[in-house]
Structure 1
Amino acid sequence: MSILVTGGAGFIGSNFVLDWVKQSDETVINLDVLSYAGNLENLKTLDGDARHVFVKGDICDRALLDRLLAEHRPRAIVHFAAESHVDRSIHGPAAFVRTNIEGTFTLLEAARAYWGALQGEEKAGFRFHHVSTDEVYGSLKKDDAPFTETNPYEPNSPYSASKAASDHLVRAWHHTYGLPVLTSNCSNNYGPYHFPEKLIPLMIVNALAGKPLPVYGDGQQIRDWLYVTDHASAIRAVIAGGRVGEVYNIGGWNEMANIDIVKTVCALLDELRPSAAGPYERLITYVTDRPGHDRRYAIDARKIERELGWRPAETFQTGIRKTVQWYLDNPDWVARVQSGAYRDWLNKHYG
């Protein structure tokens, strides 16, 4: 038995692969193009493990997808592969359209052909799990109820629009062709192996280097935060017991403003790695807000708890402490991912 994971060298994908191998003897076929955010070093502990088969390749490559499906005959596809950073999507939306829309279309077509040729229990048991985001629902006002699975889609960035389009494709392939799909929309993930362009790892890395901690606008943008291994366990639950064709929102029950996240990281660093120059909050620097910045996201995760019995194991307090400690313990990983291209992007974006 095996599963095919796309984007399994990225932040969430690699954490899912590591978690899967801990929980199962099934082989993981890991397909990743190794763009700037894909990092095989995340999976170094699996070197020599026959349960992990890595393939460098693009989800837009139909011939490669057909070959992998025919050779490994997976019982499920777990689709993480995506361009995923809002700021990058504003500066270069074309890559998001190609990977998130065209790539998902190509994967769906390959999966449809493969599934259509299966017989009996293999066909009945096959699942296509599409991993998406809460950003497809748009922005909430302060007193609005959290997003449920029936919220209308109102994406506000090139990134969220491309993910919304991919969600619609997945839904259509189920209703038109009968492909047995599952979709999950998650809130903001954090944890080990997070590429340091996103808020939490950027704050940790910059603080340790004595650099400014850039906070957009007034810092009052609110997000729900989900520890990445909780996300992995939720996906396992959906694959195992989710109803075909259904959407499951996955959240951490942790709504916090960005500025409070930054101050929490600073306080933990003051405790765990104090600076001789003084408290890390001194480095907080407010910068011009990004275009179309959504004000609040919040996930109502009651459906997955009601149907599948899943709840996050980590609170934000336990998860953020583990995250900060991981970055303190792995400075070599941080140094290696901070390539010249990454520094050039930071300079371009933050000036």
Structure 2
Amino acid sequence: MKLLFVADPLAGFKIHKDSTFAMMREAARRGHALYACEPHELSWRRGSKVEAHVRHITLTGAHGYGVHDWFKVEEEDRAALADFDAVLMRQDPPFDSEYFYATHLLERAEAEGARVFNSPRALRDHPEKLAILEFPEFIAPTLVTRNAADIRAFHDEHRDVILKPLDGMGGMGIFRVKEDGLNLGSVIETLNRHGAQTVMVQKYLPAISQGDKRVLVIGGQPVPFSLARIPQGNEVRGNLAAGGKGVAQPLTARDREIAEALGPKLFARGLLLIGLDVIGEQLTEINVTSPTCFQEIADQAGFDVAAMFIDALQAALRVS
């Protein structure tokens, strides 16, 4: 198969932990051809198909922390996305206007015959913070609003809350306000900009001390291990980007219940790979843009997540 990865610049990959690299390595091991482009290289012209400036790459076998010469460009040219067996959208968040426009180009490519994973429409329809609203039975008390008075009332009710922007990533912009309400007004002003921006507020879950678990779901089926991202020191955030410590562990019964309830439904909408964030027994986020933690789980638990992903990709394409 010819696989095109739409991703951030390859030279910036941290291959000792990058999940897209793990996908590429497993695909190459099976003999599939690897191609890559960046989202800004997608284009469409009247009378033609959606195309991109693509690089045909091979892996050098170099590996480890700080390695940059892990790939070699064999050739580069313009090519229509429909000419590839699969297109994998692996650009990291944020989901900004340019990401939004890229999904429209990718959806146009689908109409021309391209097979895109995750589905561009599904990427747009499942914003990572708001997608949980469809599944209230699995989430903690949650408020989504621009209204400062509503946020204050929610804090009065639950006393200890987490506030976060809807477009945040890697733990960016997350605040905890405890029972004393210290700095609540300032946090509200910072996040909702005097009513101009919508904020999510959730009841604080003490189980965060045991980790913010990333539960991967591939082809509608859960990976049997999660990665618990445990906050360090006085930090309230478990995100690896915020200094959290990742610990692989078997799924709990509740993890599996959530994954098995959501997985088939979201897979049917075109989401081949999702990452559920679970704190204790509560779902807090559904990651669809570029879910990670493949290598951490594989390294610690011995489960080959990338192999499960390529198996699911091949099954979706009906390739043995």
Task: Please tell me the TM-score bracket, short chain as reference.
Answer: 0.3 to 0.5
Q: TM-score, normalised by structure 2?
A: 0.36
Q: TM-score, normalised by structure 1?
A: 0.34
Greater helix proportion: 1
Query: If each structure's strand is expressed as a fraction of its own residues, which one has the higher value?
Result: 2
